[in-house]
Structure 1
Amino acid sequence: MESGMTTLSVIMIVCNEENVLSRCLDSVHPHVDEIIVVDTGSDDRTRELASQYPKVKVSSFPWTDHFAEARNFALSQSSSDWNLSLDADEYVIVADWKALYQQLESNPGFIGRVKFIDEFLNGDGEAEHTQNRLARLMPAGTRFTGRIHEQIDSRLVRLNVPLTVRHDGYKAQNKSTRNIPLLEQGLLEEPDNAYWAYQLGREHAGLKQFDAACAYFEQSRKRMNGSEAYAPNAVVSELYALLGLGELNKAEKLVTETHQSAPEFPDYYFACGIFYLDYIMADPAARIHLLPRIEQSYMKAISIGETDRYESVHGTGSFAAWYNLGVFYETTGQMEKAREAYLRSSRYGYKKAAERLAEAGL
């Protein structure tokens, strides 16, 4: 579209997305050659809204409880050289379209990693977001694999592309009732698949069903070889689930086993900071010597900084780590250090830090 030579389509599978579809389409319609919208059974105005866009081609595909099958049908409808896969609750917020088309023309064979910002509500009902890069851009002829959390089936090199997409679907609704049965079916079909077990653990953790979550995370960890892209996130997720269950001794064993090989991942060290506080408070007399590890964990997270190499919660390498350090310093009587940590956190615009400075009179 931008170059007049290389062509780009957006491919989508949708069902009852009338509330968010236009936002997605508006973000890409001026910049691509066509948009393939495959409807899997909407009974609202989704098809009608999609049809109002000149570049949109609407097709139907019966839902088979298999995301890759639906996406691959959408890909089969595309006539472009390249395809960008988006969901209706995703939309482009930052893009250098000219640079993207130049990249597509100069690199005919690669898989594009798009930056994603995923919004969600934490356990306190506060809005947070993760940032990550996902493989979503692919040359014609490429296909997906996987019943759910489908992946691009290709050994082509992965390259970052100048697109940033925001996703808020998990903030607006809980999709566990849809996801868990599909993941269970996937694990039934592939009982040694560590990824299915990991995703099931995440779903149950999100529902605060920590017993089930821990069982699936342990199952996943035993089947991973450690080179998986999601391996660091799996460790962090299991650690939080163990803390949610109150299994501090198992959490200590997990931290001990993973600490030496831990990647440059702020979320891991942020979680370690939380773990050490809980672990020490459970038996202060025996564990008070571990107190410095709380500070060390948060400082390590800060030294790494924010990242999109893995799925990372925004703030674990910056303002949230500084805030938790402030709380640690304040509770241990290190008031000047607490003031400095809160100040550093507040400079990121973190309101809780500014409020704490005022409340504590620091």
Structure 2
Amino acid sequence: MIEEGLLSLCMIVKNEEKWLQRCLESVKDAVDEIIIVDTGSTDRTKEIAAEYGAAVYDYEWNDSFADARNFGLDKAKGEWILWLDADEEVEPGDGQHLRDVLSREECYFGRIKVVNYYGTFPVTYDRSHIMNQYRLFRNDPKLRFAGEIHEQLDIEALDLTNKSVLVVPVTLHHYGYLEEAVEEKGKKERNLRLLEKALEAEDHDPWLDYHYASELYRSEKMAEAFERVNLSIGSFLKSQKKPPSLLYKLKYSILMAIGSYEGGWPSIELAIKLYPDYVDLHFYKGIILMSMKKFAEALETFEYCLTLDEDHPAYLTMVGTGSFLAWYYIGSCHELMEDLPKAEEAYRKSLELSDTMEQAREALQKLGVLESAADN
């Protein structure tokens, strides 16, 4: 029975003793109940959950993340549900804002900012992608997760015409795709296996092709990833649907990774027409123009990136494409055009915005205007 004014945290876990305490500690004072669905832990995961007063349910894993999440939803009593993964934590001080949705009768979803870190420890905001996600929603039996892997709320099952979304001032930090975390849990192999199984269905969702391409990209199988993401784009177009922006970000990320800049021209212009305010696409365009030795046009493109929103609610954005990374490439353009004073100014601006921007530091050292650490 659903109880008004309550917020339920729903999670699925397996062998998360390294992460779970940090996650629960960050939200324990904001939620009214904790529902933990355990799919076969052999470490202290369930003990840690119990220490936080969680209701722990054993669940036999059937290769479907959506089924496991939906099992947890069926146990929740709260009027609202928050869903998290164990390798996530809410920004200190933000937790109580999760309860903002409880007083908003007109709202159906709560959207929060998720920071997805990449690379290695120690984490830094400058090595992350950001995106706003629906992590809070009303406890409605008609609203369930779909997808064996990379599951998402099936919001198309509802008539959302009169259902509003509240942007909640909460930041969620996700560590699950740091290199160490991926290797520890064998995520690449697991995800590829589950996706290959799901792709056997002839009428599979084109999102599966995108997710498969993403895993191939992370596994550095670039040619296969490029073929698969194009297949996903084609499937959306064939069904007369606009391909989501994530597909184009992945497509050009692959081309940048393999240095196939000519392969991105002029198709990047078509992608930008579909998503004219997506800073990452403009950033990739600038790099392509630089490779074509069109430095003045590239410079103009990177300067335009500075006017766009890095924290756009509709897009997955790489931190820096509208700030320190753009400034670095502005400096590179000026240097290639032999305007060294402007190059120095831009490199310094990049370093001011990100003290971890080693490319800018090295560029300044090359110009002879900054001492290297070895010289100190």
Q: TM-score range by the shorter chain?
A: 0.7 to 0.9
- 2: distance between equivalents of 1:169 and 1:91? 11
Offset, 1:98: 5.1
Partner of residue 343 from structure 1, selected from 337, 344, 348: 348
Runs of 5+ in structure 1 lacking a partner? 281-287
- 1:1-362 equivalences in 2 (<5 Å): 6-54=5-53, 56-94=54-92, 96=94, 99-107=97-105, 109-121=107-119, 128-141=127-140, 142-154=143-155, 155=158, 156=160, 157-171=164-178, 172-174=180-182, 175-189=187-201, 191=203, 193-225=205-237, 231-278=244-291, 280=292, 288=293, 290-309=294-313, 310-351=315-356, 352=358, 353-362=360-369
Offset, 1:234: 1.3
| Contact in 2 for aligned 1:113/1:159 (Cα 8 Å) | yes
- 1: distance between equivalents of 2:347 and 2:335? 10
| Contact in 1 for aligned 2:330/2:346 (Cα 8 Å) | yes
Cα RMSD for the two superposed structures: 2.4
Change (3 A) 1:128 1:326: same
Q: Secondary structure at the match of 2:127?
A: strand
- 1: distance between equivalents of 2:336 and 2:260? 24
- 2: distance between equivalents of 1:317 and 1:138? 31
- 2: distance between equivalents of 1:293 and 1:195? 34
| Contact in 1 for aligned 2:109/2:138 (Cα 8 Å) | yes
Q: Secondary structure at the match of 2:148?
A: coil
Q: Secondary structure at the match of 2:220?
A: coil
Offset, 1:133: 0.7
Change (3 A) 1:186 1:107: farther
Offset, 1:95: 5.2
Change (3 A) 1:326 1:255: same
TM-score (norm 2): 0.85
Change (3 A) 1:49 1:342: same
Q: Which amino acid aligns with 1:338?
A: A
Offset, 1:61: 0.6
| Contact in 1 for aligned 2:29/2:96 (Cα 8 Å) | no
Runs of 5+ in structure 2 lacking a partner? 370-376
Change (3 A) 1:119 1:99: closer
Change (3 A) 1:178 1:161: same
Q: Which amino acid aligns with 2:276?
A: P
Deviations, residues 64-123 of structure 1 (Å, cap 9, x unaligned): 11111000001111111111000000111155555543432223541211210010118x
- 1: distance between equivalents of 2:273 and 2:245? 13
- 1: distance between equivalents of 2:62 and 2:234? 31
- 2: distance between equivalents of 1:23 and 1:258? 40
State the match for 2:372 in structure 1.
none
- 2: distance between equivalents of 1:83 and 1:108? 16
- 2: distance between equivalents of 1:138 and 1:94? 22
- 1: distance between equivalents of 2:195 and 2:93? 33
Q: Which amino acid aligns with 1:205?
A: Y
Change (3 A) 1:240 1:153: closer
- 2: distance between equivalents of 1:253 and 1:78? 50
Q: Secondary structure at the match of 1:77?
A: coil
Q: Secondary structure at the match of 1:8?
A: strand
| Contact in 2 for aligned 1:7/1:82 (Cα 8 Å) | yes
| Contact in 1 for aligned 2:272/2:282 (Cα 8 Å) | no
Q: Which amino acid aligns with 1:146?
A: G
- 2: distance between equivalents of 1:159 and 1:106? 8
Task: Using the aligned pairs only, state the percent identity.
Answer: 33
Change (3 A) 1:348 1:190: farther
- 2: distance between equivalents of 1:22 and 1:128? 24
Q: Which amino acid aligns with 1:119?
A: Y
- 2: distance between equivalents of 1:199 and 1:52? 35
Give the number of aligned pairs.
346
| Contact in 2 for aligned 1:265/1:301 (Cα 8 Å) | no
| Contact in 2 for aligned 1:115/1:308 (Cα 8 Å) | no
Change (3 A) 1:99 1:92: closer
- 2: distance between equivalents of 1:255 and 1:31? 44
Offset, 1:332: 2.6
- 2: distance between equivalents of 1:78 and 1:113? 20
Offset, 1:292: 2.2
